[in-house]
Amino acid sequence: MKILVTGGAGFIGSNFIRYQLKNYDDQIINVDKLSYAGNLDNLKDVENNSNYQFRQLDICDQEKIDHLMHQGIDYIVNFAAESHVDRSIDDPSVFVKTNVEGTQSLLDLALKFGVKKFVQISTDEVYGSLGSEGKFKEDSPLNPSSPYSASKAAADLLVKAYAKTYQLPVNITRSSNNFGPYQYPEKLIPLFIINALNNRKLPLYGDGSNIRDWIYVKDHCRAVDLVMRRGENGQTYNIGASNEKSNLEITKKILELLSKSELLIKHVEDRKGHDYRYAVDSSKIKDQLGWEAEYDYDRAMQITLNWYLDHKDWWKKLL
Ligand SMILES: NC(=O)c1ccc[n+]([C@@H]2O[C@H](COP(=O)([O-])OP(=O)(O)OC[C@H]3O[C@@H](n4cnc5c(N)ncnc54)[C@H](O)[C@@H]3O)[C@@H](O)[C@H]2O)c1
Ligand SMILES: Cc1cn([C@H]2C[C@H](O)[C@@H](COP(=O)(O)OP(=O)(O)O[C@H]3O[C@H](C)C(=O)[C@H](O)[C@H]3O)O2)c(=O)[nH]c1=O
């Protein structure tokens, strides 16, 4: 089988490609434009694998990807995106270009070449913010807050429209916050680990009470793999590990594991439109596909921390 993975040089995409090459004999074609977040060092260990090819392309470039599709692609898994909420607040336009127009362009190609499945990697942020009670289910209304989450919600609606209008076989996955190896150090966990290692301040937005539902990236990749191979056409699956933590808890955990002082915490101005809480109900993927998270939070945090300690050369190039 041939799987076109977009955004495979980023954090989750590179972990997904490594998972595929380790567990299957399928061919992987990684299409990534190498934005600031795309990094071929993330795949150094597999770059010579005979089942792996890389093409530096923008997902919006339909002509070039059309050419690639003639290889005969079975699955498209669309990880490519602008992914950082703070950047979307500063400059939304590239988020609409890549996340909305890029997805629509890929959907056209999926239809033209009759792929077995188009898998859209979405996010729990499309549901908007929760108060202190409840969890998002797949049929919760879409109510995005940031330009990032609005662009991801728009892409989800296009995917659903192509399924309904043209009977394109699709799945949408909506994961909660990921952490683990190869995450670009603009996101909370890698940024705070690296700042703490360098004895720099950790800029905690507002009072640090906002809550995210954390999942180790390898558990997310295993779930996406199951959805791609066995997910029922047209279905959306939430993916979460039921690890709700406030940002302050995460921050204190990082400082404790690194034996650093809490005096490094610096409360700064809150993010504009900051969603208070995300939490997903993952019972559908558990019941239908038998998926469950394997990594508990403490173990996954320790592994992640060790990875950043052992890979200083990787992140020093990005600072
Ligand atoms: N990080 C999370 O916690 C999280 C949670 C849920 C869903 N997601 C979704 O998962 C996907 C991957 O997220 P991530 O954290 O790995 O992001 P990332 O920013 O680390 O990686 C994104 C990748 O997409 C590439 N890319 C960007 N624009 C492109 C374009 N126009 N054409 C081709 N490639 C392009 C980048 O070069 C990069 O390699 C995104 O769709 C994101 O919305 C992320
Ligand atoms: C970078 C940073 C963040 N924060 C706070 C803001 C959030 O409440 C929390 C996590 O922020 P981060 O930007 O790492 O992630 P989210 O904004 O929750 O979004 C992430 O998870 C979803 C599911 C995706 O879909 C996004 O792609 C992914 O980036 O920490 C701070 O307090 N200080 C900081 O310097």
Pocket of ligand 2, candidates 177, 184, 304: which has the most ligand atoms within 8 Å of its Cβ, to mutate? 177
Strands 265-268 and 202-205: parallel
Number of domains in the chain: 1
Asked if the structure places residue 302 within a domain, the reply is no
Residue 165, pLDDT score: 98
Residue 186 lies in a domain: no
Within a domain: 279: yes
Beta bridge partners of 213: 244
Which pLDDT value is given to residue 311? 98
Can you give the pLDDT at residue 170? Answer: 99
In this structure, the residue with its CA closest to atom 21 of ligand 2 is 177
Average of pLDDT values for 108-131? 98
Q: Using CA atoms, how far apart are residues 99 and 122, in angstroms rounded to an integer?
A: 10
Residue 202: per-residue pLDDT: 98
pLDDT in tens, 252-264: 999 999 999 999 9
Distance 165 CA to ligand 2 centre (A): 35
Q: Given this model, what pLDDT does residue 36 score?
A: 98
Specify the residue for token string 């694998």.
49
Overall average pLDDT of the 202-227 stretch? 98
| Complex prediction ipTM | 0.99
The predicted-structure confidence for 215-224, as pLDDT tens digits, reads as follows 999 999 999 9
pTM of the model: 0.99
What pLDDT was estimated at residue 74?
98
For residue 318, tell me if it sits in a domain: no
Residue 242 CA, ligand 1 centroid: distance in Å:
22
- CA 4, 144, 248 angle in degrees (round to 5)? 95
When pLDDT is cut at 50, 70 and 90, the band that residue 30 belongs to is very high
The answer to whether residue 256 sits within a structural domain is no
Average pLDDT, the chain: 98
pLDDT in tens, 56-88: 999 999 999 999 999 999 999 999 999 999 999
Q: Can you give the pLDDT at residue 255? A: 98
Evaluate whether residue 183 is within a structural domain.
Answer: no
Residue 234 belongs to domain with CATH number = 3.40.50.720
Q: What is the DSSP string of 107-172?
A: HHHHHHTT-SEEEEEEEGGGG--B-SS--B-TTSPP---SHHHHHHHHHHHHHHHHHHHH---EEE
The answer to whether 62 touches 87, Cβ cutoff 8 Å, is: no
- Per-residue pLDDT, 119: 99
What residue numbers bound the domain in which 65 lies? 2-176+217-241+274-294
Tell me, what's the pLDDT at 164?
A: 98
Which residue out of 148, 182, 295, 308 is catalytically annotated?
148
Asked if residue 197 belongs to a domain, the reply is no
Residue 183 CA: which ligand 1 atom is closest?
A: 20
Q: Is residue 310 part of a domain?
A: no
Report the pLDDT value the prediction gives residue 249, as an integer from 0 to 100.
98
